Amino acid sequence: MRDVRFKAVHRGGPLDLERHRQLAIWAADCAEHVLPLFSRRHPLDGRPRRAIDTARAWAAGEVRVGAARTAALAANAAAREATDIAAREAARAAGQAVSTAHMAEHSLGAAWYAVRAVQASLENPADVGSADRERDWQRGRLPPSIRELVLSASEAPKFSS
């Protein structure tokens, strides 16, 4: 069930454009933080990087949602083609980040996939501290104007400890 607080004003919801843009920037930050997990395995594939850049461009008002959708499809294709789980999840984080332009709740997915990418990259999967550190990093990047929204979201157990 969608959290109505993530519904944009132009669609009849309470989320103003400024906070929607902040969610996209935060999601891009989360995806960019784990992008090396993709880039190390696929150094010639720039689709996830372009998705993150497009998310930032949308937040700056430089591109429209259609461009974000195209970038999301490309990042998701890169994820499907990825050779390992960490790379796949990092590419998915990028796809979710840019999808925030279309639907703000995708920002939560970017953070979630970033944590999954970190977990998949561990030599010792029992090292839950790495996932906790990633979540702490994500929370530390939240601007005050969207902090409560993100941390209290219905998907929050994925992001808070």
Q: What pLDDT does residue 157 have?
A: 43
Which ranges of the chain have pLDDT less than 50? 156-157, 160-161
Q: Residue 1's pLDDT is what?
A: 58
Output the CA torsion 71→59→90→158 (10° steps).
-130
- pLDDT score at 123: 78
**SS3 string of 93-110?**
HHHHHHHCCCCCCHHHHH
For 128, the token pair is 């839950």
Q: pLDDT value at position 117?
A: 96
Which pLDDT value is given to residue 130? Answer: 87
Residue 81 sits in which domain range? 4-158
Q: How many folded domains does the chain comprise?
A: 1
- In the numeric block, the tokens 């979201």 are attached to 153
**Sequence-ordered list of residues with C-beta below 8 angstroms from that of 75, at least 6 positions apart, any chain:** 47, 48, 50, 51, 91, 92, 94, 95, 98
Question: Whole-model pTM?
Answer: 0.92
Burial of 105 (0-12, 13-18, 19+ CB in 10 A): buried
What gap in Å lies between CA 89 and CA 78, rounded to an integer?
10
